[in-house]
Amino acid sequence: MTLVARRRFLSGLTASGTLLLTGCGEDPPTYGNLLRVGDWFTYKAHRLLLPRSSLAREYDRKDISATVAIGTTDPADDHQGSFDPEWGRKWAELAMGDFRDWKLEVAGAVARPGSYSLQELMRFQPRTQITKHSCEEGWSAISEWTGVPLRTVLEHAGILPSAKFVNFLAYDANPDSIDMIDALHPQTILAYGMNGQTLPRAHGAPIRLRVERQLGYKNVKYIRRIEVTERFTDPGPTGLIQSGWSWYTGI
């Protein structure tokens, strides 16, 4: 096949695929792109073929890893590329007060936008799960995570029927987003505990996302704000998809 014919073939597939698969949610626009056709098929195939709430494997206490790598730099370290001058200093300040003054903002396509303190989040029915974190750099670790299901918080804020994606903004420059299928999945939690302890600063305090059916980098740490969106919006110029990472990394 010549390159041009192959291109036509591939874009034909995309077009007919879109035709066939409309109705299963809005496409992240990155996925209409020829270069991204592989990712797009993975996303669509997972969303079509896998049961929406199939659970990621959960492990036993005895499987918990003794040491876990740290996949970020310190959000308060202004020498780092991912340092956010506005929010990095704020995180350092909040950390000094053990996050007593921290609040999670919930905004966007919800009936009751607002904010939640750590204590308020802890008052919701918690969920604990022992799962494997798989970093795209090749390491993995099993840990026990405790937190509030994202679904509980979103339902408390009142998800509007038009909601399609959830963006997570962090105290460093690493925003990301997931679709509503992952957002409402029972194992998707806002974790404030790890291995029976308060979530350590190095692992994303005060809360970090656990989205168990995707690769490591989707598990946003140091969350400050959640935005429910009606359309796929790249959560910012520093988002990982800007530097070529797949938005969907289902495993």
Ligand X SMILES: Nc1nc2c(c(=O)[nH]1)N[C@H]1C(S)=C(S)[C@@H](COP(=O)(O)O)O[C@H]1N2
Kindly determine how many residues on this chain lie close enough to bind ligand X according to the rule CB under 6 A: 18
Q: Is 239 in the site for Mo ion (CB under 5 A)?
A: no
Cβ-in-10-Å burial (0-12, 13-18, 19+) of 230 comes to: middle
Nearer to Mo ion, 214 or 229 (CB): 214
Task: State CA 109 to chain mean position distance.
Answer: 17
Chosen from Mo ion, ligand X, none, partner binding at 210 (C-beta under 5 to 8 Å by type): none
Give the residue, chosen from 71, 88, 108, 147, that forms a contact with ligand X under the rule CB under 6 A.
Answer: 71
Question: By CB under 6 A, which span of 50-58, 62-70, 151-159, 241-249 interacts with ligand X?
Answer: 62-70
Nearer to ligand X, 14 or 235 (CB): 235
Asked if 34 and 11 touch (Cβ cutoff 8 Å), the reply is yes
Give the residue, chosen from 127, 185, 203, 224, that forms a contact with ligand X under the rule CB under 6 A.
Answer: 203
Q: Is 70 in the site for ligand X (CB under 6 A)?
A: yes
How far apart CA 189 and CA 176 sit, in angstroms, is: 15
Site map 115..144 versus Mo ion, x via CB under 5 A:
--------------------x---------
Q: Is 190 in the site for ligand X (CB under 6 A)?
A: no
DSSP string computed for 34-56: GGGHHHHHHHHHHHHHS-TTPPP
Q: Looking at the DSSP assignment, which residues form a beta bridge with residue 117? A: 103
Cβ-in-10-Å burial (0-12, 13-18, 19+) of 168 comes to: buried
Chosen from Mo ion, ligand X, none, partner binding at 124 (C-beta under 5 to 8 Å by type): none
Residue 10 phi/psi, 5-degree rounding, is -65, -40
Residue 91 CB contacts under 8 Å (≥ 6 apart), including other chains: 75, 76, 171, 172, 222, 224
Give the residue, chosen from 39, 43, 71, 249, that forms a contact with Mo ion under the rule CB under 5 A.
Answer: 71
Chosen from ligand X, Mo ion, none, partner binding at 91 (C-beta under 5 to 8 Å by type): none
Buried b (16+ CB within 10 A) or exposed e, 206-219: bbbbbbbbbbbbbb
Give the residue, chosen from 28, 147, 216, 235, that forms a contact with Mo ion under the rule CB under 5 A.
Answer: 216
The amino acid that residue 110 corresponds to is V
Nearer to ligand X, 124 or 217 (CB): 217
Give the residue, chosen from 30, 42, 65, 82, that forms a contact with ligand X under the rule CB under 6 A.
Answer: 82
Nearer to ligand X, 41 or 59 (CB): 59
What token pair was written down for 88? 């990095």
Residues that bind ligand X (CB under 6 A): 68-72, 82, 135, 170, 172, 174, 203-204, 216-217, 219-222
Residues that bind Mo ion (CB under 5 A): 71, 135, 216-217
